[in-house]
Structure 1
Amino acid sequence: NPAACPVDGYVVECSIPFKLFNAHAPTGRPKAGDIWMANFYKCGDELPEPHWGSWSPVKTQKPDFHRPEHFGKIVFVS
């Protein structure tokens, strides 16, 4: 939907099975209004030109994507 796309970026939608999160979300399937903290990232550290990218910025000198203080909020709506 071009009308929903931001001018300075893009929108990505994906489907992740809830069973993938079962070990980390013992309360089960989230309800509308629930908030989970997470990050999504791409690491190209072993490529000819190393690079990294993340959905929620990681503000460390050396990329460390396992720091919850840099996670973004995922708000469930339905």
Structure 2
Amino acid sequence: VQGTLNDDSDTDRSWILEAAIPLANFAKVAKHTPPHDGDVWHLNLNRLGGETNPQYSQWSPGKTKTPEFHAPRYFGRVVFSTKLVRK
């Protein structure tokens, strides 16, 4: 967090999420796990919270007035690749 953790009285500049997803959980619905080079999965990442300052954000935002977490038409595309990304 670039700001203060769990303090709604100020404004944070940014935050980062890192997650590990167990690909075996998708074995029944994906063509193959782990994904192959070029495979595309549709998903969304959502954030909802804030005790005193309610907030909502989506990685791939929907065009709705109220949050729709389970609307596949608004999901983003994740393209899997075997190529390394260098920073």
Partner of 1:20: 25
Q: Percent identity?
A: 37
The CA distance in 2 between the partners of 1:77 and 1:10, in whole Å, is 25
Q: Structure 1: any 5+ residue segments left out of the alignment?
A: 1-8
Q: Which of these residues, 41, 46, 65, is aligned with residue 46 of structure 2?
A: 41
Q: Secondary structure at the match of 1:19?
A: helix
Distance 2:56 2:16 in 1: 19
Amino acid at match of 1:55: W
Query: Which among 61, 64, 71 is matched to residue 67 of structure 1?
Result: 71
Structure with more helix by fraction:
1
Q: TM-score, normalising length from structure 1? A: 0.69
State the structure with bigger RCO (CA 8 A, min sep 6), 1 or 2. Answer: 1
What's the secondary structure of 1:37's corresponding residue?
A: strand
Deviations 1:20-70 (A, max 9, x none): 323432x2211101101000111117x222111111112111111111111
Segments of 4+ moved more than 4 angstroms: 9-13
RMSD over aligned Cα, in angstroms? Answer: 2.3
Q: State the match for 1:56 in structure 2.
A: 60
